[in-house]
Amino acid sequence: MTTTDTAPHMQPFQAEVAELLNLMVHSVYSETDIFLRELISNASDALDKLRYEAIAKPELMENGGAPKIQIVPRKAPDTLTVIDNGIGMDRQELIDHLGTIAKSGTKSFLAKLTEAKDGANLIGQFGVGFYAAFMVADRIEVTSRRAGSDQAWRWSSSGGAGFEIAPASEEDAQRVVRGTEIVLHLKPDAAKYLEAYQIERIVTAYSDNIQFPIELVPEEGEPRQINSASALWQRSKSELSAEDYTQAYKQIANAFDEPAMTLHYRAEGRYSYAVLLFAPSTKPFDLFEPQRKGRVKLYVRRVFITDDADLLPGYLRFIRGVIDSEDLPLNLSREMLQNNPQLAQIRKAVTSKVIGEFEHLADKDADSFAKIWDSFGPVIKEGLWEDYERRDKLLALSRFTTTKGENRTLKQYVAELRENQTEIYYLVGDSLDRLKSNPKLESAAARGIEVLLLTDPVDAFWTSVALEYEGKPLKSLSQGDVDFGLIPTVETDKDEPAKTEETDEALVIATIKDALGERVADVRASQRLTSSASCLVAGGQGPDRALERMLAQQSRGGASKPILEVNLRHPLVAAIGRPGQADAADLSLLLLEQAQILEGELPDDPAGFAGRVNRLVLRAL
Ligand SMILES: Nc1ncnc2c1ncn2[C@@H]1O[C@H](COP(=O)(O)OP(=O)(O)OP(=O)(O)O)[C@@H](O)[C@H]1O
Query: Does the C-beta of 181 come closer than 6 Å to ligand 1?
Result: no
* DSSP 8-class letter at 45: H
The CATH number corresponding to 505-620 among 1.20.120.790, 1.10.10.10, 1.10.260.40, 1.20.1530.20 equals 1.20.120.790
Residue 3: predicted pLDDT: 45
Query: What pLDDT does residue 374 have?
Result: 93
What integer pLDDT is reported at residue 7 of this predicted model? Answer: 66
Which pairing describes strands 563-566 and 522-525: parallel, antiparallel, or unpaired?
parallel
Measure the CA–CA gap between 297 and 275, rounded to whole angstroms. 10
Query: Nearest C-alpha to atom 8 of ligand 1 is from which residue?
Result: 42
Ligand 1: which atom is nearest the Cα of residue 86?
3
Residue 18 has a pLDDT of: 86
119 appears as a binding residue in the annotation? no
- Considering the domain 9-225 in this protein, what is its CATH number? 3.30.565.10
pTM over 0.80, yes/no: no
pLDDT for the residue numbered 389: 94
Residue pLDDT, tens place only, 23-62:
777 665 567 888 898 899 899 999 999 999 998 899 999 8
Instruction: Give the atom of ligand 1 at the shortest distance from the alpha carbon of 84.
Output: 1
Give the residue ranges of the chain where pLDDT is below 50.
Answer: 1-3
What backbone phi and psi angles, to 5 degrees, belong to 209?
-90, 0
- For residue 233, count other CB atoms closer than 10 A to its CB: 24
| d(C-alpha 526, C-alpha 588), whole Å | 15
Query: Could you tell me the distance, in angstroms and rounded to a whole number, from the CA of residue 130 to the centre of ligand 1?
Result: 6
- If DSSP codes are grouped into helix, strand and coil, which group holds residue 87? coil
What ligand 1 atom has the least distance to the C-alpha of 131? 18
* Whole-number Å distance between alpha carbons of 533 and 435: 17
**For the domain with range 232-372, which CATH number is right: 3.30.70.890, 3.30.230.80, 3.40.50.970, 1.10.630.10?**
3.30.230.80
SS (H, E, C) 313-368: CHHHCCCEEEEEECCCCCCCCHHHHHHCHHHHHHHHHHHHHHHHHHHHHHHHCHHH
Tell how far the Cα of 285 is from the centroid of ligand 1, in angstroms.
18
The closest alpha carbon to 321, from 249, 215, 411, belongs to: 249
Burial 30-46 (b: 16+ CB within 10 A, else e): ebbbbbbbbbbbbbbbb
Q: In what order do the strands lie in the sheet with 468-469?
A: 405-408, 400-402, 451-454, 424-428, 472-476, 468-469
254 lines ligand 1 (CB under 6 A): yes
Whether 325 contacts 345, CB under 8 Å: no
d(CA 372, CA 362): 10
Q: Does residue 193's CB lie within 6 angstroms of at least one atom of ligand 1? A: no
CB contact at 8 A, 73 and 199: yes
Q: Is the Cβ atom of 42 under 6 angstroms away from ligand 1?
A: yes
How many whole angstroms separate alpha carbon 533 and alpha carbon 477? 16
* Residue 84 marked in a binding site: yes
The two beta strands, 472-476 and 424-428, are parallel
**Domain residue limits, the chain:** 9-225, 232-372, 505-620
SS3 content of the chain, % helix, strand, coil (to 5): 45, 20, 40
> Is the N-terminal amide bond of 77 cis, ω within 30° of 0?
yes
CA of 269 relative to ligand 1 center, distance in Å: 37
DSSP H/E element including 247: helix 242-253
Ligand 1 lined by 354 (C-beta under 6 Å): no
Sheet holding 259-267, edge to edge: 259-267, 273-280, 320-325, 297-300, 303-306
User: How many CA atoms lie within 13 Å of 220's alpha carbon, on the beta-carbon side?
Assistant: 0
